[in-house]
Structure 1
Amino acid sequence: MTSTMMKAVRQHAFGGPEVLQYEDAPMPELNAGEVLVRVHAVGLNPPDWYLRDGYKMLPEEWRPEVTFPFILGTDISGMVTAIADDVTDFAIGDAVYAMVRFPDGLAGGSKAYAEYVSVPASELAIKPAGIDHAHAAGAPMSLLTAWQFMIDLGHTAPNPLQATSHQPVPLKGKTVLVNGAAGGVGHFAVQIAKLKGAHVIAVASGRHEALLRDLGADEFIDYTKTPPEEVARNIDLVIDALGGPTTGRFLTTLKRGGALFPIFPLGFSGEKEAEKLGITVSTTQVRSSGAQLAEVAHLLDSGEIRVVLDSTFALADASKAHERAAKGHIQGKIVLTVD
């Protein structure tokens, strides 16, 4: 590489999609323990638009301090172009994917909306050969979220969202309801639950039914016609991929000894009711893990877990991708492609 500059999407102020600027930016420096990746695709996730508008959905004391300009994004797929001297697990030319510096990069330190990104080697894994870069970039955060909630937490870091560590529950032979089943985390949760032997009930709008049944859902509830809390009963586990203040409505769907896992727990206020009903409510924050991405790679490679793409946009059109996200009702993942 002869140039020290690259193209990236940066923002110089908080705001809507219009603040995303496609412009020249300095190439990332390669530090010890890191790998430089030429990005081919970038996966979008809710923390991207949360950071873009200044984390207005968080209590003020939780909002990280941000230095402008910064580059959004965590999820990438691409090719290794350089490695630090102390890195031995990767080689130049490797096709790789990663969720970069999360949650450490909450204040814009992940920097994935760019032609190049430096990635700690511990967060990197070889890209599944059976899928292209766009599909690989759609996996990391959403798939790791579902995996860490449902299968293996994969780390011992303190839980910032509750006093105790999150504990996944056995899935084989259980009935699992997934709310927001067509979205990024939701469509992976449906597939993981089915893969692990659960009876899966998917909740989404009717237009997603065919896809979700194809992904393994045994039953489907169209929430636009029937509130799921009115018809679902004796559930062992609810994965609420939407979460928030309304997640408590699922407490009555669970059997005693069941569990409710809200992916976004802020606003939940039903702890006393859950205790009274004998239900465990637990959450966690997803964390980068190259080891877990390597573990799930064979499932992506074989097609046992599929990445569904809602839409793709060029890196230069990141603002349009965020406009698409703002419309909601996303089916799978939105991805940026990088020439």
Structure 2
Amino acid sequence: MTHLILDTLTKRYGTATAVSGLTLEVARGECIALLGPSGCGKTTTLRMVAGFIAPDAGGITLGDRRIERDPPHRRAIGMVFQAYALFPHMTVAGNVVFGLEMRHVGRAERDRRVAAALDMVGLAALADRWPSQLSGGQQQRVALARALVTEPDLLLLDEPLSNLDASLRGEMRSEIDRLRRRLGITTLFVTHDQEEALALADRIAVMQAGRLVECADPRSLSEHPRDVFTASFLGARSVIPLPAAGISMATPPGASHLVLRAARLQLLPAGASTDAPFSVPAVVAEAAWLGDTIGYEVTAGPHRIRVIRPTTEAAFAPGQPVRVAGWPDAIAWIETSQGVAS
């Protein structure tokens, strides 16, 4: 059942268009990630849904009600901000109860819901602490509890993990996923982190220059992108326009671009033979040690191809001739008719 509808949402700032005709439907209980580079319009979209920015055109329907002209406090929405936005003069419990007080919820019910929310995020023992006494992960949990305590119809997350260090991001990502699935709450979140979007979202809406480029489940988007921008932006891959000089292989009818997945390509010594459907001689341009893997940039004629290989394999040095090989699972095709081939 569709729960949230964004209908041709548009927002302009003078002559600049931040969001242009964005249309998106979100099912009840579904988690959608708005993914794209800085300035693509994803945060503007989220803030229009939250009610902090009024759209210049288009509508927003939540449940059975149009809400694009409602003030934020009348939208039954909970939001977690990038900077958490906790009140420094209030305790953890004071921050969480604030939204309930604004809604004039009775004392007994407030106490019950605050206790339940803090227990849900594992902070029941810290109810009397001040925000300055908390770690970044704990502050993030307070912000999440504050958003959920009002029992909203929709949860909005604006770059929820960007202020956490790498060790905490994975932990909090799992925590958010567990909570939103347990509550069955419809969720819309903004991120530029592809790994975060792939791990949390039921579907990913890729945005570029204010427009919705493509929207699909993570596996479909990763394995079979329909647009050149999506293929280039999502993950480590190389996108080569066709026909490609120096690359000879069977091409499906209508294919406009060849997509090569870096982690599935093989890097072989220059003289090695292979019967892989994709095979080209190349020269290593760059080699970067990444811990468990080595990231290579190789040149094959006019093309630059990225390859990621485990450190357990023999390493190649910059300037060394090699052969890049790929089996069908390393290859995808984009047709001009499917998306914007650009």
Q: TM-score, normalised by structure 2?
A: 0.26
Higher strand share: 2
Radius of gyration: which is bigger? 2
Q: TM-score, normalised by structure 1?
A: 0.26
Question: Bigger relative contact order, structure 1 or 2, given CA contacts below 8 A and separation 6+?
Answer: 1
